[in-house]
Amino acid sequence: MSFRTTQSNTSYRRLIEKATAYDDHLASEQDGPSNANSLDPKLVETIKLLHALFKERSLDDATVSISCDAKDPADGAMPEQIERFAIRGILGSGGFATVYRGFDEVLQRDVAIKALRRNSSPNLPDEQRLREARAVARLSHPNLVPIYEVLDIDGRLYLVAEFCDGPTLASWLRDNADRLSVADSVEIMVRLASAIEHAHGRSLVHRDIKPANIILAMTTNDSKLPFEPRLTDFGLVRDLSQTIDEQTARRLVGTFQYMAPEQFLHSQLDHNEACDQYALGVLFYRLLTGRLPHAEKSGIEMVEAVCTGPPAKLRSVKASVPLDAEAICLRCLELEPDQRYPSVSHLIDDLRRFQQGLEVKARPRGIIERSLTFVGGHPVESALLTLMLIAISSTAVISMSHNRALREQQHVLQVAVSRALDAEALAEESLDGERRQRELALESRAKAKRIAMLSDIKLALASLSRGDAPDAAATVNRIKEYVDSDADNDFAVAMLGNLVGEGTTQWPEGPAPVAEIAPVNSKGQTCIGYVDGTLRMVDDQSGKVVRELVMPEGKNICALAVSENAERIAVGLCDQPGTRSVFAANEVHVFENNDDKPIFTRWGFPTTIESLTFLADPDQLAIGCRYSPVSLISLADQSYKKVFPSHRRHRELHTSVDGSTITFIHEADLFLQFDSATHEVLRELKIQNRAMKLTDMCYNIHRISVSHDQRYVAVTVSYSDGGRVVVADLSAGSPHEFPGSFDPESQHRREVIWSILLDSSSSYADSVVFSKDNSQLFIGSAAGDVICYDMVDILAASQNVPPTEPTCSDRRVIHQGPVNQLAVDSLGRIISGGEDGRVTVLDRSTIDRSIQSVPPAATIVRHGKETIVSGHTDGSVRLSNAFTGHSEIIVSAGKSTVSELCLDPHGRVLVIGRVNGSVDFLDFDSRKIFHRIPHVVDENSTRNSVDFITMNSEGTEVAICVAGFSLLVLELGNNGNQPSVSLVSEHQLTSSVDAAWFSDSQDLVLLGDLVKQWVRSKAISQTVDSGIGGLTAVIKEPVGDSVYSGARDGRIRRHDLAGKVTMTSDRWPRPTLHVGIDSAITALSVDATGRYLVAGNYTGHLSLWDAETLQYLGHIPTHDEQAPIRRIEIAADNQWISYLERHVEDPTSRPKSHRPKLIRLE
């Protein structure tokens, strides 16, 4: 017996949405793990399916059934015994089950045992867990594999079934395809169809019929076949007598090459007996021709071919296929289920008629063909009939010979006219059919592209969330390849293209891995040494190579130093692997200014030169050789002396800014700081296990960095189970003591501030450096990450009792391999050099998106393509250019805080609502307020603010709500060349209103406790729908008739213009947030094309949604997620997103406004 394990379904809305299987995989993503071993299993399954679809992998035996439930790894080694069954081997293994070959020690027979994973079913109800077993238990047929019993051991299910010793039909066909006759193929189909008929009679639909699920039990007592085909694996069975929920109904199940069109296009509610009949047709096609119906297609093209057109006729593939067999097969493969056989029993009847040589119902024969068939079966009767016909024909010919010519001419003319008319009608019908097929194909192609693009957008946003910019960039480039020129105009693709390169610049890629980086700050340059012996000088400002030196052939650069006056460069060299030399391989060369020849060379160092550093005197050079004492060379008199004994590799010699001290690693857990003039030890710093929360682990200090103010030192520590970076305070403690010791009684640390644990994805730190202003610590990991910690966070974490791990402020994957070197250039930026030969500049200052020319604002609204209008707490209103930063005050301060802004579609009139309930109307051309509605203070109410302002699409009417219950409708017009305002109506509402818009009939739709339509002609309100609790944001799409709303429940709703809810999204998928608060949507905006929504929430996160399906696409990284998003605006040409945060420092205090932020998309 052969079991194939399948995983449960995930819901998808349409054809390729189902195939991508990715619309919910980020539902539980935060920043995302960067270790492949900890990837969410649903993401792994999704990637497998996408690979199958888009990389043109074989889909022949790929069973589709993807779950959004997390899955744990396999349970371990093969058991020796399962109750009374002895385990004798593994027959197969999959994602959710393993199939063992067992022996029933009581009944003395072989069995097949399908062991489901422990975590694949315990939480499901028995109806779902035992679905396959209960379905097979209802069946009894010689061509089906029965299940003997079901075992439930500690929550794990075991299905014990008959063991069939034989190959699958799939493997047999690979070896014996040419040996299969038409008669054998038909007999196989009769027996399998009989088994399926038996299952259909019990309301069961198999839904996964394919050669891999058919076992050939070898037999010698069958005169027709050498084996008995037996169908197995009812894992995807559907019981037609049972109902299924909506989520389950939308899942995609089956094997792509054997799935019927309705399995792609419709929900499981439409999966009936016709699906199995289609799969039998695909199997019959393969048996007769040796190939699948759409074998020339793959991926999306295959799915499109299955759903839009018939397969190639069998005789065009293999001419020897009988016409009747071809007709039976193609009848099963009809696109519409009602065009196939009414049932499988009718299919069996036609197959048996074919075996008996009778006329099949799939292809009624003409009179001539029936006559020839009769003649072949009745030769004597046919001969007599032929003689009679000859006699009658001769008599008729003689009697009609005189007028035959006239009749023939008349007949020819009638036939010609009839054929011409038929040909014309047929041509017109064929042309219409081709047009419809082309339109359908183009529509399907466009949908497939859109769905594929949305899936890749999800992948790119997920990569950005975990800091993997290279992976996100690769995904964006892939989108541009298959979306062609449309990608350049797509809002989401443009946004991603901007975010992937934010804050980083690539310098020219090197010829080999980066060995050393040495800043030359006085010249504004950086010196980079590559392992292959190439030395480059790069201009910090332009990133261009200004000088390049190549070391002697066969030499690798292993160390590099630049003197403080930038006049000298020292290079440590060693032999390349495989090079043989008579002299000692290790040497130092010193170059001066722009001279390509060294002014000093010394050979014969006993071990590899790991590090070099100049002292304050450029004639003094310190050298650290592997496992040798630190030594000093005087370039003036070429004297050489060993200064301090040591037994480490000396990967780093760190000289202070004034050159007075040198810090280096002395022992595995000890580093020293000594006076470069007197050679006396100034400080010993020992790192102890307790300070790193380590117990009995082997560890070594690896790299070292001292802050520019000489206060802090950071060392990378590698040990048997991972890596840490330990930060110590050099200003505390006294010389010669071990200030890194840790007193668990008092929780007091003398020197060690805290140790940063690197996660398993980073493995260990390869490099470390402090920023120029000493406020940040950067770590380069073996996995290619550059991780940033703010020193204030490190200090704060160290003050907790017990101390906690500090949170990194930035993390991004920059290199495809270890980060070999980190340095700070003359502009204060971080330079990283990797094993991949790339040099990347990280400038975190460019990530600040605040529009610096604009002070903290209370609300914003876009004005045209380049400008933003902002309202402030001091009552002023400003107009600012989003690109140049130029800002001007258009309404002076001194009035009440601005609460709402609304700009008419023509950009001429700005309506300003204030906290005290007053409303100003500003003429943009003259920058003057031409109308004002004074505020009316209700002494009995604490709420007098203008809640919302909305205009109709023509900009001729405006509705204003004050204090939630007062509604004003005003008309905007012109009095000569000046705009004017007149009151249309004023109403006191009976229920609270949070938002409103104008419908097509210019009536008002009010959203609040209830959804109401205010009928202006009758001055009454009509309830349209139930209200939406916690409504926070409403936006109308610019190119359509839809309105979107966001609420505190974390969901987005689509309304028609009458206010009725037509679609509701799933909850904002951020499971780690506090339910009901952090996931609450506080702001909403739609792009200029109406295809995407951008939402903001209470914790300052931005997210991207597909407007058509309301699918959550992913988190938009903003680097400042800390305060509620107050407002989001998108430029009219999609060139930027502006958002405004409001920070609550204390729940009892008033919210503090922030500067508007900007994400550029150009």
Q: Kindly report the CATH number assigned to the domain that includes residue 339.
A: 1.10.510.10
At residue 50 the predicted structure's pLDDT band, cuts being 50, 70 and 90, is very low
Flag whether 868 is in a domain.
Answer: yes
Burial code (b: 16+ CB inside 10 Å, e: under 16) for 115-137 equals bbbbbbbeeeeeeebbbbbbbbe
At residue 553 the predicted structure's pLDDT band, cuts being 50, 70 and 90, is confident
Residue where one domain finishes, among candidates 314, 338, 355: 355
**Tally of CA atoms within 13 A in the half-sphere of 362 that contains its CB:** 27
Flag whether 87 is in a domain.
Answer: no
Contacts of 122 (CB under 8 A, 6+ apart): 129, 155, 156
* Model pLDDT, residue 343: 94
Note the pLDDT tens digit of each residue in 803-837. 777 777 777 778 888 998 999 988 888 999 999 89
How much of the chain, in percent, has pLDDT values that exceed 70? 78
* Model pLDDT, residue 352: 95
At residue 749 the predicted structure's pLDDT band, cuts being 50, 70 and 90, is very low
Distance CA 606, CA 628 (A): 8
At residue 123 the predicted structure's pLDDT band, cuts being 50, 70 and 90, is low
Contacts of 888 (CB under 8 A, 6+ apart): 878, 879, 880
DSSP sequence for 540-577 = TTT--EEEEEEPPTTEEEEEEEE-TTS-EEEEEEEEPT
The closest of 1102, 1139, 1096 to 870, measured between CA atoms, is 1139
CB 341 within 8 A of CB 350: yes
The answer on 321 and 189 residing in a single domain is yes
Flag whether 233 is in a domain.
Answer: yes
Flag whether 753 is in a domain.
Answer: no
Residues, the chain: 1162
* Model pLDDT, residue 1032: 87
At residue 104 the predicted structure's pLDDT band, cuts being 50, 70 and 90, is very high
Mean pLDDT of 396-417: 73
What tokens were used for 373? 């068939």
Flag whether 299 is in a domain.
Answer: yes
Angle at 484 between CA 481 and CA 485, to 5 degrees: 135
On the question of pLDDT at 528 being above 90, the answer is yes
The answer on 196 and 336 residing in a single domain is yes
Q: Which amino acid is at 782?
A: A
* Model pLDDT, residue 782: 84
Strand partners, 1129: 1138
Distance CA 335, CA 308 (A): 8
Distance CA 8, CA 4 (A): 13
Flag whether 957 is in a domain.
Answer: no
CB atoms within 10 A of CB 476: 25
Distance CA 548, CA 968 (A): 73
Q: Give the lowest-confidence range in 128-132, 572-576, 591-595, 974-978.
A: 128-132
Note the pLDDT tens digit of each residue in 929-951. 999 988 755 545 556 788 889 99
Residue where one domain finishes, among candidates 488, 503, 518: 503
At residue 324 the predicted structure's pLDDT band, cuts being 50, 70 and 90, is very high
* Model pLDDT, residue 4: 33
Greater pLDDT, 75 or 494: 494
Mean pLDDT of 702-710: 83
Mean pLDDT of 867-887: 85
At residue 1162 the predicted structure's pLDDT band, cuts being 50, 70 and 90, is low
How much of the chain, in percent, has pLDDT values that exceed 90? 24
Instruction: Tell me if the bond preceding 905 is cis, omega within 30° of 0.
Output: no
CB 237 within 8 A of CB 206: yes
The answer on 299 and 174 residing in a single domain is yes
The number of distinct structural domains making up the chain is 3
The answer on 440 and 347 residing in a single domain is no
Contacts of 419 (CB under 8 A, 6+ apart): none
Q: Which amino acid is at 579?
A: T
Distance CA 6, CA 230 (A): 20
Mean confidence (pLDDT) of the chain: 79
Question: Sign of the C-alpha dihedral, residues 667, 673, 675, 680?
Answer: negative
On the question of pLDDT at 1102 being above 60, the answer is yes
* Model pLDDT, residue 722: 62
Q: Which amino acid is at 215?
A: I
The answer on 441 and 340 residing in a single domain is no
* Model pLDDT, residue 59: 43
The answer on 440 and 298 residing in a single domain is no
- Which of 194-198, 480-484, 636-640, 850-854 is the most confident on average? 194-198
* Model pLDDT, residue 75: 54
Flag whether 757 is in a domain.
Answer: no
* Model pLDDT, residue 55: 41
* Model pLDDT, residue 487: 61
On the question of pLDDT at 11 being above 50, the answer is no
Q: Give the lowest-confidence range in 141-145, 572-576, 668-672, 990-994.
A: 668-672
Mean pLDDT of 445-467: 85
Question: Does 449 carry a binding-site annotation?
Answer: no
Residue where one domain finishes, among candidates 320, 355, 390: 355
The closest of 390, 240, 860 to 382, measured between CA atoms, is 390
Note the pLDDT tens digit of each residue in 1056-1095. 888 889 999 999 886 444 444 467 898 999 988 889 999 9
Distance CA 1133, CA 1162 (A): 10
Flag whether 665 is in a domain.
Answer: no
Q: Which backbone phi and psi does 708 adopt, to 5 degrees? A: -65, -25
**Tally of CA atoms within 13 A in the half-sphere of 323 that contains its CB:** 9
The answer on 442 and 346 residing in a single domain is no
What tokens were used for 631? 């030594």
On the question of pLDDT at 397 being above 60, the answer is yes
On the question of pLDDT at 22 being above 80, the answer is no
The answer on 283 and 175 residing in a single domain is yes
The closest of 1157, 1101, 919 to 465, measured between CA atoms, is 1101
Strand partners, 238: 205
Angle at 521 between CA 518 and CA 524, to 5 degrees: 105
The answer on 311 and 447 residing in a single domain is no
Give the Å distances, CA to CA, from 1031 to 74, 547, 902.
46, 62, 19
Stretch (H or E) spanning 958: strand 957-962
Distance CA 812, CA 501 (A): 11
Print the domain residue range for 873.
856-894+1131-1162
To 10 degrees, what angle do helices 344-355 and 323-332 make?
Answer: 170
Greater pLDDT, 62 or 1090: 1090
The closest of 311, 240, 239 to 278, measured between CA atoms, is 311
The DSSP output letter for 774 is: S
CB atoms within 10 A of CB 1082: 22
